[in-house]
Structure 1
C-alpha cells in the first residue's frame, strides 16, 4: 500500500522531484480532484515490475482507496516517473 498525501502547492515541483517525490492528481468517483504527492521509489518499482495496467490500493487521508493509473509522465533523461494521474475504481 502506498501512502499518498495532499500536495502543498507552495513548494515547486522541481524541488519535490529532487527529494524523490512524485506529484500528480487523484480523481475520485464523485468528481473531486486532489493534487497529491507520494514517494517516488515505491510507485516506480511497482510500475516497472507490473506495468501501467496494475490496480493498487493507496492510503489517502486515513482512507484506503482502490485506484487505477490513467497516465504517467516520465523524465526524458532518467526515465523515472515525475507525474501520475490516478483514477478511483
Structure 2
C-alpha cells in the first residue's frame, strides 16, 4: 500500500509560511515567515526543486496530513503554528 502523501498543486504553504535562515538564490539572507519564496513560479512550484541550490531545510519538509491539512489555508495555519512554536 502506498502511503505517500502527494504535494497539493497550487499550495506552496511550505514555501511561504516558515522562515528559512539559509541563503536562497534571490534571497541571500533567507526569508521571513509568511513571505513567499522568490523561487516560486507562477504555478506555485519551486524552481529549485531537485537542484543543489535548494536550501537543505526545504528538502526536510515532507508533505503529510500534520503539515498540509486538507487545503492550503489549513496548511498555512499549521505551518504558522509550528513556526511560532519553534521560534527562538
TM-score normalised to structure 2 length: 0.28
* Higher fraction of helix: 2
* Higher fraction of strand: 1
TM-score normalised to structure 1 length: 0.28
